[in-house]
Structure 1
Amino acid sequence: MKREAKYIATVSLGVMGAGFLATLPTAVSSQVWGSFLQGGFEAGVVGGLADWFAVSALFRHPLGIPIPHTALLPNNREKITKALVNTVQNELLSKETIRARLEKIHFLERGLELADKQLDNASLHTGLTALAKHALGAIDIEKLTPLLAEEIHKAIQDVDTSRLVRTLIDSITDNDYDGKTLDFVLDKAAAWVIKADTRDQLGAMAIKAFEGLASNGFMAFAVNAFMGMVNEEKLGGIIQNFVLSYIDQLRMNHHPRRQAVLTFIRNELHKLDRNPQLLAELEKFKTKLPELFDLDAKLTHMLTKLKERGEAFIDQPEFVPVHVVPILRNMLLSIRENQDMLHRGEDWIQEQIASYLEQNHSKIGQLVKENLDKLDNAKLTELMEEKVGSDLQWIRVNGAICGFIIGLGLAGLKMLF
């Protein structure tokens, strides 16, 4: 386009020059139409040459002659650069202009809309899968295990032993574990007492007990008379029935003897959280728990299994669309529906942009200057001519045409007067 305009400008100047030369003989011969045209072509040549000189003087010395006040762009490069930097930085891209424009953009809202549209993108699914696998693979079990074991050990040591005992006791009493334990013991005792061997053992023990009594007189007579009437089986049966009867009473929920036994047990249990010997033993036991359970090995095994299951889970085709995308979409929706959060987010983004703009606005001018400084005079001239040269060439065309028209007018006036 620039070459075409330059060609037209040169042709226009050539036409004016040719017309001027062609009309000279008619002007000399005093022909009216010749003088009229000659005046127009003469003014056209002057206008075309003057505009050619003016346009050329912007970029270089016309005809290479160092005429003062020509080659304005190369000679005033520093001034032009400063003016351009100042115009761009303080007028076209001033802080106020940029800030006012940015305030109209809802960055967070647009970002959420864009993110929501991309959630069903297959490439995004592939990327999220790769990201999840990378994150899972980055877990170093050998380093993580000691840390977890140490934290678990600390947590165990931080447990209030007295409170733990009290909690256990409350759980025992609230769930009637003491009563159930008593019933278990009574069942075992009844199963043992009801045996024939037990009956005989009880009878033998009772006879030995009677035989060992140190008595005389009537007491001795009564004991000997009683021993003559019973044997081990009879005496054992009496004791056996008595014990079974007592056990049956202890099994009845509201029987006074059962309530008395349970009250005694519970009173003793509630004293345990203040028993210094028990608490000291439990404290020692807490320190031995990690070694007792081989905590490091078990944690390593557990974490390895969890990692393998996690990798298998991530490899499933439905991992991202079924499990990840709904979570992300609900998260985006909750943010978009929370107007307060949305406004605070937008305000925060605008504050960050304003802060960044305040700190870096001067770099706009620096960037313009640095880019201009990279160009030598010839390259800068060529660039300017490329951008505005075509319009400047049309100035030459207009100068020649306007000069021709003005010349015709002046020639006409001369003829009239």
Structure 2
Amino acid sequence: MQNRSVTSPVKKTPLPLPDIEPEQARIKRAELKKTRTIATSMLVVAAVIFIVCHILQRHYDWVWLGFLRAAAEAGMVGGLADWFAVTALFRHPLKIPIPHTAIISEQKDKMGSSMATFVADNFLNPELVGEKIESAHVPQRLGEWLQKPENADKVSGELGTAVKGVLDVIDDQEMLELFDRTLHRQLDDRVLAPELGEYLQKLLDSGKEEPAIQFLADKVSQWAVKAGPTIERIVDKDSPVWAPQVLQNLLGSRIHRELMEWTVKVAHDPEHEARLAAKRWLQELADDLRTDEKTIEKVEEIKRNILAKEATSGIAEKTWISTKEMLLRTSADPNSLLRRKARQAVVSMGRAMATSEKVQAVITERVVAASKHLASNYAPEITAIISDTVERWDAAEASDKIEVLVGKDLQFIRMNGTIVGSLAGLLIYTIAFFVLGV
């Protein structure tokens, strides 16, 4: 005989119902008590009139007593029937467990399931969802809202809050370990020198090294113009003690002038020998990185030294901490470059959404498609929130709170039942009296 393991159903944790404001609850309970008293009083009045009429008819032959008794009798029946119907929603009438009473507490789970099915069938219909989204003109309205400066400030502020929230929950040590694992995974088994050589060769073939050389030449030329005092200090330091100061000044000025002239020529002559020499050196470096074993091994040694944990951990930690502090600081500062750029991006996006029909059409199409997909495939899961939530409510508490919220209106049903019953009884008795002669 095989043993079968039986998985017991997961016990769901009860959920508290949404709270009613204490003052509002007090007012509604008072209103319910008042209307319930009125409805009950009307029923009692109808019963008293019926009894009095019944007694009087034994001693008097007054015709009008029949009309009054019929109205009171029918009103009493109508009032009792509606009292039973209203009471049966929330509890057993007279505490007698009559079938199909205390409906809310007894049938709470079934009602939640039916409500979920109703919502899924009538509100999460894919075509209906699509039509509602299209008719709402969401992109245009959202764009008009976003392009207002005060709203862009709010959105950029929320982005700053989101950045802070994300950074606050990230564990620094886990981030450093992730950085270390990623770095090793990417670089451990790769020989970098040939790749660097290929990349450098592509730059040389496309002439993209020229702007870099020009940039360096310009910077060196600018430095040379300001290097006079530095050159004079070097000359003074390295000159013999017997050298006259005038000679030192002339020598320093000559060196400074020659340096400035040479750097200006390098900066303005694309064919200058220094620039050509730099290009030849770059070409040799590209070749060595791809083919020279010593160069390749040297690059690998540098890579291994960089990847050594004791070498990278400090750099990674400082980089991450400084980056994190920078992001926290700039995201919190409304005048930071990050927040200003975020505001500009939000306003630009809002303007495009508000004015461009093409952008509106694209956004609407994608939102509609996504919404239809969700409605088609996940409606049961979405509406299950309703049935699951109702199922986890306490039955007695749910019945009490629902009665507090709608009980006042239900008491008017009782009043109307008494009034309509009385009128109906009077009408029936009148017809019977004059037509049938009863």
Shorter-chain TM-score tier: 0.5 to 0.7
Establish whether residue 359 from structure 1 lines up as the match of residue 377 from structure 2: yes
CA contact (8 A) 2:67 2:429 kept: yes
Cα offsets for 1:245-283 (capped at 9, x unmatched)? xxxxxxxxxxxxxxxxxxxxx9xxx9xx99xxx989983
Distance in 2 between the 1:30 and 1:320 partners?
93
Change (3 A) 1:374 1:411: same
Q: CA deviation at 1:400?
A: 1.7
Residue type of the alignment partner of 2:130: R
Cα offsets for 1:97-142 (capped at 9, x unmatched)? 3333233445556666447242564x7557657878999x867897
Q: Please, which of 329, 335, 344 is the counterpart of residue 321 of structure 1? A: 335
Query: How much is the aligned-residue C-alpha RMSD, in angstroms?
Result: 5.5
1:5-404 aligned within 5 A: 5-28=35-58, 29-57=60-88, 62-64=93-95, 70-71=100-101, 73=103, 77=107, 83-105=114-136, 113-114=145-146, 116-118=152-154, 121=157, 125=160, 153-158=193-198, 283=292, 286-287=295-296, 290=299, 321-336=335-350, 339=356, 340=358, 343-375=361-393, 381-382=399-400, 385-386=403-404, 388-404=406-422
Change (3 A) 1:111 1:32: closer
Residue type of the alignment partner of 2:152: D
Q: CA deviation at 1:359?
A: 2.1
Distance in 2 between the 1:361 and 1:60 partners?
33
CA contact (8 A) 1:16 1:42 kept: yes
Distance in 2 between the 1:375 and 1:304 partners?
50
CA contact (8 A) 1:161 1:283 kept: no
Change (3 A) 1:32 1:324: same
Residue type of the alignment partner of 2:73: E
- Structure 2 stretches of 5 or more lacking a match? 1-30, 211-275
Q: CA deviation at 1:18?
A: 1.5
The SS at the match of 1:321 is coil
Distance in 1 between the 2:162 and 2:113 partners?
48
CA contact (8 A) 1:161 1:279 kept: no
Q: CA deviation at 1:161?
A: 7.6
Using the TM superposition, name which of 11-20 and 85-94 deviates more.
85-94
Distance in 2 between the 1:64 and 1:281 partners?
94
Residue type of the alignment partner of 1:101: K
Aligned length: 311
Distance in 1 between the 2:350 and 2:301 partners?
52
Distance in 2 between the 1:27 and 1:327 partners?
92
Q: CA deviation at 1:9?
A: 1.5
Distance in 2 between the 1:408 and 1:119 partners?
68
Distance in 2 between the 1:25 and 1:71 partners?
35
Distance in 2 between the 1:40 and 1:365 partners?
48
Change (3 A) 1:346 1:321: farther
Residue type of the alignment partner of 1:12: M
Distance in 2 between the 1:25 and 1:88 partners?
56
Cα offsets for 1:300-357 (capped at 9, x unmatched)? 7999998898789765899762422333244345545554455434433333333222
What TM-score do the two structures reach when normalised by structure 2? 0.51
Residue type of the alignment partner of 1:20: F
Q: CA deviation at 1:381?
A: 5.0
Q: CA deviation at 1:94?
A: 3.1
Q: Percent identity?
A: 22
Change (3 A) 1:34 1:84: same
Distance in 2 between the 1:93 and 1:27 partners?
63
The SS at the match of 2:386 is helix
Distance in 1 between the 2:360 and 2:121 partners?
32
Q: CA deviation at 1:90?
A: 1.0
- 1:175 maps to which residue? none
Distance in 2 between the 1:154 and 1:287 partners?
7
Change (3 A) 1:361 1:287: same
Distance in 1 between the 2:168 and 2:84 partners?
71
Change (3 A) 1:405 1:316: closer
Distance in 2 between the 1:94 and 1:32 partners?
62
Q: CA deviation at 1:362?
A: 1.2
Residue type of the alignment partner of 2:52: A
The SS at the match of 2:61 is coil
Q: CA deviation at 1:49?
A: 2.4
